[in-house]
Chains A and B, each alone.
Chain A
Amino acid sequence: DGGITQSPKYLFRKEGQNVTLSCEQNLNHDAMYWYRQDPGQGLRLIYYSQIVNDFQKGDIAEGYSVSREKKESFPLTVTSAQKNPTAFYLCASSIGRAGGDTQYFGPGTRLTVL
C-alpha cells in the first residue's frame, strides 16, 4: 500500500526543547512539503523540497528546520526559536510541482508544547 506516514500522531514537549516530526512516503514522489494548520486559518507552508538534498523555505520557516537526505523522508525539526509551536503539522507529497500535481497528505502530528 502506497502512502504517507507521519509519527507520532500526538506529541507533547516542554517549552525550550527541540522536537523532530517524522514524515515518510513510499509513493516515489519527488516533492515533499510541511504545513502547519491552526484553528480558523488555512494551511501555511513551512518548507518544501523538490528533490533530494534540496529544500526551500515557505511562508513561515522561522523556528523550523528540515533535511532531505532520502527521497522517502522529509523530517521537520521544531526548534526552541519557534515562538508558538503548538499546532497540527501536516506533511504532503506530490509527483512534482507542476500545476496539476496533486498533493497528498499524511495523517498529521498534533504537537503540544507545555
Chain B
Amino acid sequence: GQNIDQPTEMTATEGAIVQINCTYQTSGFNGLFWYQQHAGEAPTFLSYNVLDGLEEKGRFSSFLSRSKGYSYLLLKELQMKDSASYLCAVRDRYDMRFGAGTRLTVKP
C-alpha cells in the first residue's frame, strides 16, 4: 500500500530550530515535496528533493534518504509566522500522495 506518515502536531519556541519528519512507502518514487499551509489557505511550495541529501533554502532545509523512505524539513530561527501546517508529499509515478500534515505552533 501507500503510506506517508508525519507527526500530527509539534510545538517550538521562537528563535529555535525544529525538525519535522516524514516517512513514506509508495509504489514508485519521483520526488518528495514539502508545502506550508496556513489555516484556511492554499498550500505553498517550500522544497523539492529527488536525490539523497540536503537542500537548503534560507531558513528552511529539506533532507531525503530514498533507501530509508525518509525525509525531514528543518526550520531554523523560528518566527511566529512559521506557525502553520507542513505537508509532506511524494510523487509516486505521476500522482502526488500527501501526508496528513504536521501542525506547528511557534510560541514566544
Contact of B99 among A42, A45, A58, A97 (CB under 8 A): A42
Asked, given contacts A42-B87, A42-B100, A58-B95, whether A100 binds B50 with beta carbons under 8 Å apart, the answer is: yes
Q: Does B30 contact A (CB under 8 A)?
A: yes
Interface stretch, picked from B41-49, B65-73, B75-83, is: B41-49
**Number of B residues, CB within 8 Å of A:** 25
Contact present for A105 and B95 (CB under 8 Å): no
Number of A-B contacts (CB under 8 A): 54
Query: Beyond A42-B87, A90-B42, is A102–B99 a contact (Cβ under 8 Å)?
Result: no
B31 at interface by CB-CB < 8 Å: yes
Q: State A99–B45 Cα separation when bound (angstroms).
A: 15
The residue on B at minimum CB distance from A98 is B30
Closest chain B CB from A33 CB (angstroms):
8
B96 within 8 A of A: yes
CA–CA, A31 to B31, complex, Å? 17
A69 to B45, CA, bound (A): 27
A85 within 8 A of B: no
- The CB with the most chain B CB atoms within 10 A, among A42, A48, A103, is that of A42
Which residues on A are within 8 Å of B, measured CB to CB?
4, 35, 40-45, 48, 58, 88, 90, 97-100, 102-108, 110
Q: Which 4 A-B pairs have the closest CB atoms?
A: A99-B30, A42-B98, A105-B42, A43-B98
